[in-house]
Chains A and B, each alone.
Chain A
Amino acid sequence: SAVISQKPSRDICQRGTSLTIQCQVDSQVTMMFWYRQQPGQSLTLIATANQGSEATYESGFVIDKFPISRPNLTFSTLTVSNMSPEDSSIYLCSAPSAGNEQFFGPGTRLTVL
């Protein structure tokens, strides 16, 4: 199983600013995923981050709002840009194991004022 860490664990930000969330995996993985969990809601996939190529975004999410970097096989960042209160959510990264199961980081709880 993979051990995944995220930084920061939580943050409170002002509208119009940006926040970059870091995700570190303890082993090399080809794909990493970023999810959003809005308050009281389920998880929604934002994008797939592949090392060496552009991230692939799901419907309703765009690169200008959620730019992603994937500089190597153990690390990825997600930036939430030009934030509004509607961006207040928990953001989680994940990585798959050989069994197609996903291991998740602890999440970053973002509050936008």
Chain B
Amino acid sequence: GNSVTQMEGPVTLSEEAFLTINCTYTATGYPSLFWYVQYPGEGLQLLLKATKADDKGSNKGFEATYRKETTSFHLEKGSVQVSDSAVYFCALGDAGGTSYGKLTFGQGTILTVHP
């Protein structure tokens, strides 16, 4: 079955530091890949996505590239802000059939950014 493995947290950084959160996956077929973010006390929001190999998703300064050869979708940001403090989830979406629309989530990574 599908699975997603995320870098263990929590991750603590100073403002303007570089961020990488590793995500690897196991899946059959050609899944879509997503990063979701959950800010304190809020719901889950889609941060970015990629639907095929070598696609790069980007949003709010965050980027992730769909690497089929290494089955990875690492999240990066060049300069984090205090407002980026949140829980980040890597997720995999089934491509079709009876599993269409279902998401498999990684464990989540807590990011705390200090001024």
Contacts and interface: CB of A to CB of B under 8 A. Distances in A.
A45 B93 CA distance: 12
A100 B50 CA distance: 10
A42 B107 contact: yes
B7 interface: no
Q: Is the interface of A mostly helix, strand, loop or mixed?
A: strand
Contacts of A33: 101-103
Which residue, A102, A105, A107, has most C-beta atoms of chain B within 10 A?
A102
Interface residues on chain A, size class: 20 to 34
B42 A42 contact: no
Interface of B: 32, 34, 36, 42-46, 49, 51, 89, 93, 95, 98, 100-108
Interface of A: 31, 33, 41-45, 48, 56, 92, 94, 96, 99-107
Given A56-B98, A99-B51, A100-B100, 16 more contacts: A31-B100, A33-B102, A43-B44, A44-B105, A45-B103, A45-B104, A92-B43, A100-B51, A100-B93, A101-B49, A102-B93, A102-B103, A103-B46, A104-B44, A104-B45, A105-B43
